[in-house]
Amino acid sequence: MTTSVTIPTGGELGATASAVPVASVRTRTRWSQRVRPRRILLTVLAFAVSLAWVFPVYWMMNSSLLSNRTLQSFIPTFLPFGGSFANYENVLEDGSFFTALGISLSVTLIAVFFCLLFAFLAAVAISRFRFKGRKAFVLAVLIVQMLPAEGLFIAQYKMVSSVGLLNSVIGVSIIYTAAVVPFTVWMLRGFVAGIPADLEEAAMVDGLSRTQAFMRITFPLLAPGLVASGVFAFLQAWNEFTVALVLLPAEQMHTLPLWLRGFIQASATRETDWGQVMAASTLVAVPVIVFFLIVQGRMTSGLVSGAVKG
Amino acid sequence: MTETITRDVAATEPAKPRTPAGRRRFLSVPHLLLIPAILILLVGMGYPLVWQVITSMQEFGIKQQFGQPADFVGLQNYIDLATDPTMWQVVGRSLAFCFITATMTLVVGLLLAVLMTAVGRTARLTLQISLLLAWAMPVVAAMTVWIWLFDRRRGVVNYLLDMIPGVDMNRFSWLSNPLTFFIVASIIVIWMSVPFVAFSVYAGLTQVSDEVLEAAQLDGANGAKRLRYIIMPMIRPVIMIVLLLQLIWDLRVFTQITMLQDAGSKASEFDLLGTYIYKLGAGSQDFGMASAVSIFVLALTLAISWFYVRALLKEDEQS
């Protein structure tokens, strides 16, 4: 087992959930069954909390289906009866969504591609080799990973604008790649280390060269790790707001988060069409939610793995 | 990769990375593999960082934007900051926001994790799914929804609160008063971050061995004692890491605050460190001061995250 997947996250939901902890939870459940009324109370509480937590997500979708006239009423409409997709049609009408989608896609895909490539090479280096400067590199990666965008974006703005890359896909992509590489290196390192070098050696005994052994044995085993890391890099770049705000000031260069923010900004000067804003939010959120659900199990374990090993 | 390099690797690379043979000589292959990552980090992070350190010691305002050379002023910008009451208000507000929000997140997350272990499968799955959905929401989309929920006239929050007898929340404007503004911000951030905490702690809880708990029960430890003496010590490392990450993340709430300011007021009483830097740099074009505040934020983050970085380093050494 690699270090990055040691924690079975989220019980049954986690991608890496193993049978043992689930079983252990059941045992504990049986104990508490003796205290019936308390258990019923807790179950009710669990459902109430679930409802409260999911409510904003539900409310976004509900409002997106209701007409502006329904939303104007002072009594909220809690179910989308009589709703329509008119808000979506209105949002998509002027084409600004597709422009933003295009910018978001190009920035994110460029960043993810280079990030995966660079991080993969670095991860192989630090998990398959011991060399001078290795520790310094690992430390640098961990520290850079913690640096907040809020502490660097003014300097990044100055640098990017001084080379004339303001409002260009390339400028943002470079910053995104650099911002996401550290976490990706760290995540891939766990995956590479999880594949025993013995496998490669066995292949080499059978006559393959070191490179051939790596490409034919280790690389295919690494594919899930690459996909998971790629999805993370994708989500981070896709949702990024701070750097995009300073590096892409021109409206026709806005990424999806900036495009969505435009709706709220406009609300300062005129009556907000909340149905449209919620339809726009849903368009931005749904693909992200789907991707996120695919990889979330590894997310938790990657971030806190140090705690369990230490 | 050329044949020579391949042979070189095969000859020098040890079977198990920790074997002494690995330290025998300087290897060039791993260094080559690191070059692209190092280059992109130098361009995207290294250069801006160095520029920022230099600029933070310069007089770099609007005049310098138009080509006037920037004068070196040593630590003058930092001294100006330290003697500026606005800066202290922003720092105090940011730290208070960060600590209160992170603590609340941790407490709620812990309680939900314990709740997950105490209820049946259906209730647990329902809770986990709704937490996951909240966690997966992109920040900007989450902000638009919450701004709508807290809308002065037609927001659900005011509507529901107004239904409580004796409470008059009709048209209550949450975002126009700094205190309620930050309460709203805190609620939103807690809503976003609790899922991560709850899942991490729950994962930790499921790893506490049942044998140990049963033994403790046989020895007469009641529920509270088991929690205090067995469960808590075993999940302490997870809690520490999660708390640290929350503190770091709650210092960088630029997106949330910016969007709440879009819907409310941009006045300086509503600023935290992130928006303060943005206004100094992008607004007033005072890059010298903006850099100095940025360096302060970076130093603060590193100080808080040092423990986390050390824990991860330890893990790296063990692998």
Contacts of B312 in chain A (CB under 8 A): 142, 186, 306
**CB-facing half-sphere around the CA of B240: CA atoms within 13 A:** 20
DSSP A310: -
**Which chain B residue has the Cα nearest residue A181?**
B37
Q: Would the pLDDT of A110 be above 70?
A: yes
CB atoms within 10 A of CB B190: 22
Average pLDDT over residues A200-229: 85
Residue closest to B292 by CA, chosen among B8, B9, B53, B16 = B53
Contacts of B106 in chain A (CB under 8 A): none
A16 touches chain B (CB under 8 A): no
Contacts of B6 in chain A (CB under 8 A): 209-211
Contacts of B248 in chain A (CB under 8 A): 146, 148
Identify which of A25, A39, A308 has the shortest CB distance to residue B237. A308
First to last CA, chain B: 27
- Give pLDDT tens digits for A75-105: 888 888 878 899 999 999 989 999 999 999 9
For residue A210, CA distances in Å to B1, B7, B15, B39, B310 come to: 11, 8, 12, 26, 33
A285 touches chain B (CB under 8 A): yes
Average pLDDT over residues B168-176: 87
- Residue A179 tokens read as 């911002």
pLDDT of residue B310: 85
Average pLDDT over residues B148-159: 90
Which residues, other chains included, contact A292 with Cβ-Cβ below 8 Å and sequence gap of 6+?
A: A235, B132, B135, B136
- Assess if residue B42 is contained within a domain: no
CB atoms within 10 A of CB A112: 25
pLDDT of residue A303: 55
- Assess if residue B305 is contained within a domain: yes
**CB within 8 Å: B314 and A46:** no
- Residue A91 tokens read as 């949002």
**CB within 8 Å: B48 and A155:** yes
What are the backbone angles phi and psi of residue B72, rounded to the nearest 5°?
A: -75, 125
Place of tokens 């069954």: A33
Instruction: Fill in the amino acid letter for A7.
Output: I
Gap between the Cα atoms of A276 and A280, Å rounded: 6
* Mutation site, A300, A301, A303, A305, interface B, largest B CB count within 10 A: A300
pLDDT of residue A20: 37
- Residue A186 tokens read as 């760290």
Topology, domain A86-306:
MetI-like fold (1.10.3720)
- Residue A41 tokens read as 């109370």
CB-based contact B317:A189 (threshold 8 Å): no
Instruction: Tell me which residues of chain A, numbers 88 to 107, contact chain B at a CB-CB cutoff of 8 Å.
Output: none
CB-based contact A174:A157 (threshold 8 Å): no
Residue B214: is it exposed, middle or buried by C-beta count within 10 angstroms (0-12/13-18/19+)? middle
CATH number of the domain to which B186 belongs: 1.10.3720.10
Instruction: Tell me which residues of chain A, numbers 19 to 58, contact chain B at a CB-CB cutoff of 8 Å.
Output: 21-22, 24-25, 27-29, 32, 39, 42-43, 45-47, 49-51, 53-54, 56-57
Gap between the Cα atoms of A37 and B224, Å rounded: 19
Calculate ∠ Cα B211-B213-B214, nearest 5°: 65
* Mutation site, B3, B7, B33, interface A, largest A CB count within 10 A: B33
Gap between the Cα atoms of A27 and A37, Å rounded: 19
Identify which of B33, B302, B314 has the shortest CB distance to residue A124. B33
- Residue A117 tokens read as 């490539």
Residue closest to B294 by CA, chosen among A246, A189, A185 = A246
**Between chain A and chain B, how many beta carbons pairs sit less than 8 Å apart?**
414
- Assess if residue B245 is contained within a domain: yes
Identify which of A7, A25, A150 has the shortest CB distance to residue B254. A150
- Give pLDDT tens digits for A156-211: 998 999 999 999 999 999 999 999 999 999 889 888 888 888 888 888 888 888 88
pLDDT of residue A108: 96
Gap between the Cα atoms of B17 and B10, Å rounded: 13
**CB within 8 Å: A129 and B30:** yes
- Total domains in chain B come to 1
**CB within 8 Å: A193 and B319:** yes
State the ipTM, two decimals: 0.84
Residue B196: is it exposed, middle or buried by C-beta count within 10 angstroms (0-12/13-18/19+)? buried
Contacts of A304 in chain B (CB under 8 A): 200, 203, 238, 241-242
- Residue B268 tokens read as 């300086």
Which residues, other chains included, contact A217 with Cβ-Cβ below 8 Å and sequence gap of 6+?
A: A199, A200, A203, A208
CB-based contact B144:A264 (threshold 8 Å): yes
Gap between the Cα atoms of A260 and A103, Å rounded: 13
Q: Among A81-85, A119-123, A291-295, B24-28, which range has the highest average pLDDT? A: A119-123
Domain boundaries, chain A: 12-63, 86-306
Using DSSP's 3-state secondary structure scheme, residue B58 falls into strand
Choice among A135-139, B280-284, B311-315 with the minimum mean pLDDT:
B311-315
CB-based contact A153:A242 (threshold 8 Å): yes
Gap between the Cα atoms of B207 and A303, Å rounded: 17
pLDDT of residue B282: 85
Taking all residues of chain B, what is their mean pLDDT, rounded to a whole number?
A: 86
CA distance A63 to chain B (A): 9
Q: Would the pLDDT of B51 be above 50?
A: yes
Instruction: Fill in the amino acid letter for B283.
Output: G
A219 touches chain B (CB under 8 A): no
Rounded to 10°, the helix A134-146/A169-194 angle is 130
CB-based contact A123:A183 (threshold 8 Å): no
Identify which of B6, B31, B312 has the shortest CB distance to residue A131. B31
Gap between the Cα atoms of B26 and B234, Å rounded: 42
Q: Would the pLDDT of B4 be above 70?
A: no
Average pLDDT over residues A11-30: 41
CA distance B139 to chain A (A): 7
pLDDT classification of B124: cutoffs 50, 70, 90: very high
Identify which of A29, A285, A293 has the shortest CB distance to residue B138. A285
Residue closest to B263 by CA, chosen among B148, B134, B178 = B148
pLDDT classification of A34: cutoffs 50, 70, 90: low
- Give pLDDT tens digits for B61-110: 877 777 777 888 888 999 999 999 999 999 999 999 999 999 999 999 99
Q: Per-residue b/e over A212-245, b at no fewer than 16 CB within 10 Å?
A: ebbeebbeeebeebbebbbbbbbbbbbbbbbbbb
Instruction: Please tell me which residue, B183 or B27, carries the higher pLDDT value.
Output: B183
CB-based contact B246:B105 (threshold 8 Å): yes
Identify which of A121, A210, A246 has the shortest CB distance to residue B6. A210
pLDDT of residue A304: 54
Gap between the Cα atoms of A219 and A230, Å rounded: 15
- Give pLDDT tens digits for B271-311: 999 999 999 988 888 889 999 999 999 999 999 888 888 88
Instruction: Tell me which residues of chain A, numbers 133 to 152, contact chain B at a CB-CB cutoff of 8 Å.
Output: 133-134, 137-140, 142-144, 146-152
Gap between the Cα atoms of A46 and A32, Å rounded: 15
Identify which of B9, B134, B315 has the shortest CB distance to residue A57. B134
Question: What range does the domain containing B215 cover?
Answer: 70-318
Contacts of B105 in chain A (CB under 8 A): none
pLDDT of residue B26: 52
- Assess if residue B216 is contained within a domain: yes
Gap between the Cα atoms of A73 and B43, Å rounded: 53
- In whole angstroms, what separates CA A234 from the centre of its chain? 6
Contacts of B314 in chain A (CB under 8 A): 306, 309-310
Gap between the Cα atoms of A91 and A253, Å rounded: 18
Q: What pTM value is reported for the model?
A: 0.84
Residues pairing with B58 in the sheet: B72
Q: Per-residue b/e over B94-107, b at no fewer than 16 CB within 10 Å?
A: bbebbeebbebbbe
Contacts of A288 in chain B (CB under 8 A): 136-138, 141
Identify which of B40, B252, B262 has the shortest CB distance to residue A268. B262
**CB within 8 Å: A148 and B259:** no
A188 touches chain B (CB under 8 A): no
Average pLDDT over residues B19-44: 76
Gap between the Cα atoms of B132 and B70, Å rounded: 50
Residue A68, H or E segment = helix A68-72
